[in-house]
Structure 1
Amino acid sequence: MGNSVLALRQKQLLTSKKEFKARGAKLKRCDHCLIDINECICDGIEQAQCGLAVCMLMYHNESFKPSNTGRLIADIIPNNFAFRWDRTEPDEALLTLLKDPQYQPIVIFPEDNVSPARIMSTIARENDKTLLLIFLDGTWREAKKMIRKSPYLDDFPVLAISPDKMSEYKLRVAIHEHHLGTAEVAIMVLELAGEHDAAKKLDRHFTDFREAYLKCKKR
């Protein structure tokens, strides 16, 4: 399976009626990593051996943003899915995926915004099912809106991540210091799930991406 976030991005580009212009729009970017071609990090991408799946539920134009790190997760985890979030008309393929009996869906989201009854602090895998980690990919305000207005997620448990260090994610500024970028959260969750190879490779990929991205921002 390829990178579903890039596939979603391409699909949105073909159907969008308005051109999306990110910061640094004049840069000549690599079509895959979306970094300046002079700082391309694609040669360092190494897919992991991983026994779980990831689903990126992306706010409106999130897939367009070069600063998005959900794309990095899809580079590393072979079994990956991405969908554009829609409040009133959720993608039928997303709903089908969530109902697929081969998967065990878990929503990744901070515990202070979810009913305590849904919270889980450890990952217990169900027999014969593949974990499906659902990441709400957007700004903090957008992610809160997504979980609040997505009733099809209400029946799934929520794995809450409370990091004990300040985020290294300096690409965009969150409202609260303790909110991490999507890739950083994924690294922690992968470790918790025992997927150490995937966590290590995603950590390395995120580090390469962050350094290259910040270098380009200074130009």
Structure 2
Amino acid sequence: MPRPRCERCQRPLAHCLCPLIPSLDSRTRVVLLQHPSETSHALNTARLAALGLRNAELLIGEVFEDLPALLATPGYRPVLLFPGEQAEVVSAYGEGDALPLLLIVPDGTWRKARKLLYLNPLLEELPRVTLGQVQPSRYRLRKAPEAGAVSTIEAVVQVLNMLEQPANFDELLRPFEALIEGQISAMGAETFARNHGEG
């Protein structure tokens, strides 16, 4: 019989993360486009990001029919958080920035994220932004496929910290870190050291 789950954070009730999830305001509107294969992941960091930010939403699917209306949200300038040759490194909002960003964040493996772009050509047309100096991932349970790869929630926090400084969004990472600690203790210290330790 499946364990009862929290409706909000989707974690087993005994490990509900809701008390750790903040409710933060941001000028930037964050829209997370999640590939359906990510929804069942134990570390569903896009959901945690959407729950912790008041000005954020999580959409799940492969083809997003409402994209034209979403990108036309009044009062925002839409950009895609995705690396590429034309991607501009995010920098702090200046006094001349009339419109805050509508930050579109694909959530999935690199292959799935590229598929989302392919299936939604409007995304391909958006100006791209990327992180300059990427802080190392705190996600110690998965070896990143390339240097500079971080989880979705870490990428969102780093972008918001850059855009909206001196505001700080690190509080958003509290449930994420608790999730990782919980998985490490469930795994056992020896297994963790053997599989994920620095060797």
Give your verdict on TM over 0.5: yes
Q: State which of 111, 119, 128 in structure 2 corresponds to 1:158.
A: 128
Q: Number of residues paired by the alignment?
A: 187
Distance 1:76 1:215 in 2: 24
Distance 2:183 2:132 in 1: 26
TM-score by length of 2: 0.78
Gaps of 5+ in 2: 189-199
Provide the residue aligned with 2:69 in structure 1. Answer: 96
- Pick closer, same or farther for the CA change 1:149–1:91 going to 2, 3 Å: closer
* Identity across matched positions, percent: 27
1:162 is displaced (CA, Å) by: 4.9
What per-residue deviation string (whole Å, max 9, x for no partner) do you get for residues 74-128 of structure 1? 1111122222343xxx333232111223221121112xxx242x4344255741x
Q: State which of 74, 78, 82 in structure 1 corresponds to 2:54.
A: 78
Distance 2:112 2:3 in 1: 27
Provide the residue aligned with 1:9 in structure 2. Answer: none
TM-score by length of 1: 0.72
Runs of 4+ in 1 over 6 A off after TM superposition: none
Query: 1:43 aligns to what SS in structure 2?
Result: helix
CA contact (8 A) 1:74 1:80 kept: yes
1:173 is displaced (CA, Å) by: 4.3
CA contact (8 A) 1:56 1:136 kept: yes
1:212 is displaced (CA, Å) by: 2.7
Are 1:176 and 2:176 counterparts? no
Provide the residue aligned with 1:109 in structure 2. Answer: 82
CA contact (8 A) 1:76 1:198 kept: no
Provide the residue aligned with 2:191 in structure 1. Answer: none
- Quick check: 68-77 or 152-161, which moved more? 152-161
Distance 1:105 1:62 in 2: 24
Gaps of 5+ in 1: 1-24
- Pick closer, same or farther for the CA change 1:170–1:139 going to 2, 3 Å: farther
Provide the residue aligned with 1:63 in structure 2. Answer: 39
After the TM superposition, which residues 1-219 of structure 1 pair with which residues of structure 2 at under 5 Å, given as runs? Answer: 27-86=3-62, 90-110=63-83, 114-116=84-86, 118-122=87-91, 124=93, 126-127=97-98, 129-194=99-164, 197=167, 199-216=169-186
